[in-house]
């Protein structure tokens, strides 16, 4: 009897083991996922059909919604650059994303970094011609008023960017140390990396001329200004091909001075010009204070008119008056 009991227990144990080894039934996920996929596919198809077969007003409204949605998605600083690049592709594919453009005429065919003539200035400036950029320099203030250069979507050149700065023999009364005091240090207006990538060693060396410098705080130089330069000198050429860039400081009579007598810019501006495939001229302008605390670039989008008021410069002298007025007063509603 004892043997029989042990055998019975053994069989019972075996049965239990077999019961445990049976795979547990999982919820049927495949049909659910398939349903979600089909619904999404139908939704996308419905949107595409509504866009292509709907009225002009409906298409315009859909474009606006898509532009706003993409801008919200790509705005955060923590958004990875590869994802931002994909969002930019979608943004650029939307017809309404080009924004306001005026008749460009024959602009951009003379290979000059000045898109429509030399900007005029209320104060005397000296035009310093470099191979990689043009510098409208105020000798009295010992600072650049506007630095203009072009960038393209061609392959970047491999050039070493120097650590120090070079004296400019044309402006002998200026040295880099004249811009140092406390938190202030010499910062490059036109970014050396961009000029080096476009023009090679020559561009890198010219970017380190003291005439391309202005007093900047380290926080501003390595923060907001650097982010803006990366956006317009790296992202924009890849997306739009050739672009024209104007950069410079905003200096007022009441601006603080360094011990050297050099005025500390209250802000810096950047204007990017682009010729569309249809021959239209468009622009986006930024006005960024040195003490800016907000890190969102789109919050510093300005108008060309506003920059002209605070700098005393007049851009685009060769553009038709009416077109210049329209482009000058326009403020881009979002980043390109």
**pLDDT tens-digit profile of 256-304?**
999 999 999 999 999 999 998 888 999 999 999 999 988 889 999 999 9
* pLDDT at position 28: 57
* Structure tokens, 220: 């501003």
Q: What's the rounded Cα separation, in Å, for the pair 203 and 131? A: 7
**Residues 6+ positions from 225 with CB-CB distance below 8 Å:** 187, 216, 268, 288
148 pLDDT above the threshold of 90: yes
* pLDDT at position 11: 46
* pLDDT at position 200: 94
The CA–CA distances, whole Å, from 266 to 149, 211, 311 equal: 23, 18, 11
What is the separation of C-alpha 42 from the centre of its chain, rounded to a whole number of angstroms?
A: 35
CB 159 within 8 A of CB 203: yes
* pLDDT at position 54: 63
Confidence of residue 17 (pLDDT cuts 50, 70, 90): very low
* pLDDT at position 50: 59
Domains in the chain with CATH codes: 32-98 (no CATH), 102-329 (3.40.570.10)
Confidence of residue 40 (pLDDT cuts 50, 70, 90): low
The candidate with the shortest Cα–Cα distance to 135, out of 192, 189, 59, is 189
Most confident of 45-54, 83-92, 162-171: 162-171
- E strand or H helix at 10: helix 2-21
* pLDDT at position 100: 86
Mean pLDDT, residues 203-223 taken together: 95
Please tell me the pTM assigned to this model. Answer: 0.80
* pLDDT at position 106: 80
* Axis crossing angle, helix 304-311 with helix 321-329, rounded to the nearest 10: 90
145 pLDDT above the threshold of 90: yes
Confidence of residue 12 (pLDDT cuts 50, 70, 90): very low
Mean pLDDT, residues 40-48 taken together: 63
125: helix, strand or coil: coil
The CA–CA distances, whole Å, from 195 to 40, 41, 213 equal: 46, 46, 14
Confidence of residue 65 (pLDDT cuts 50, 70, 90): confident
* Summary mean pLDDT of the chain: 85
Q: What's the rounded Cα separation, in Å, for the pair 123 and 162? A: 32
Q: What's the rounded Cα separation, in Å, for the pair 143 and 147? A: 11
**pLDDT tens-digit profile of 254-265?**
899 999 999 999
């Amino acid at each position: 009897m004892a043997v029989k009991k042990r055998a019975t227990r053994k069989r019972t144990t075996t049965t239990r083991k077999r019961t445990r080894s049976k795979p547990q039934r999982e919820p049927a996920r495949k049909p659910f996922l398939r349903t979600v996929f089909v619904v999404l596919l139908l939704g996308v198809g419905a949107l595409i059909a509504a866009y292509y077969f709907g009225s002009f007003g409906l298409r315009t409204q859909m474009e606006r919604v898509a532009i706003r949605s993409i801008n919200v998605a790509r705005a955060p600083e923590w958004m990875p650059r590869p994802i931002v690049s994909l969002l930019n592709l979608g943004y650029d594919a939307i017809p309404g994303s080009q924004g306001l453009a005026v008749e460009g005429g024959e602009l951009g065919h003379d290979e000059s970094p000045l898109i429509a003539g030399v900007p005029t200035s209320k104060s005397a400036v000296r035009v310093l011609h470099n191979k990689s950029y043009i510098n409208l320099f105020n000798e009295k203030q010992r600072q650049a008023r506007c630095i203009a250069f072009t960038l393209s979507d061609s392959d970047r050149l491999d050039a070493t960017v120097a650590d120090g700065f070079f004296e400019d023999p044309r402006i002998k009364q200026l040295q880099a140390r004249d811009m140092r005091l406390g938190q202030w240090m010499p910062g490059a207006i036109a970014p050396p990396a961009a000029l080096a990538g476009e023009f090679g060693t020559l561009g890198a060396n010219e970017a380190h001329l003291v005439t391309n410098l202005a007093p900047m705080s380290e926080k501003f130089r390595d923060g907001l200004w650097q982010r803006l330069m990366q956006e317009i000198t790296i992202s924009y050429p890849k997306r739009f091909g050739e672009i024209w860039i104007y950069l410079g400081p905003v200096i007022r009579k009441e601006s603080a001075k360094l011990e050297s007598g050099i005025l500390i810019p209250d802000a810096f501006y950047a204007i990017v010009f682009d010729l569309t495939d249809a021959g239209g001229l468009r622009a986006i302008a930024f006005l960024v204070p040195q003490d800016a605390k907000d890190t969102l670039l789109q919050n510093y989008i300005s108008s060309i008119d506003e920059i002209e008021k605070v700098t005393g410069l007049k851009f685009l002298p060769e553009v038709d008056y009416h077109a210049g007025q329209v482009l000058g007063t326009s403020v881009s509603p979002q980043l390109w």
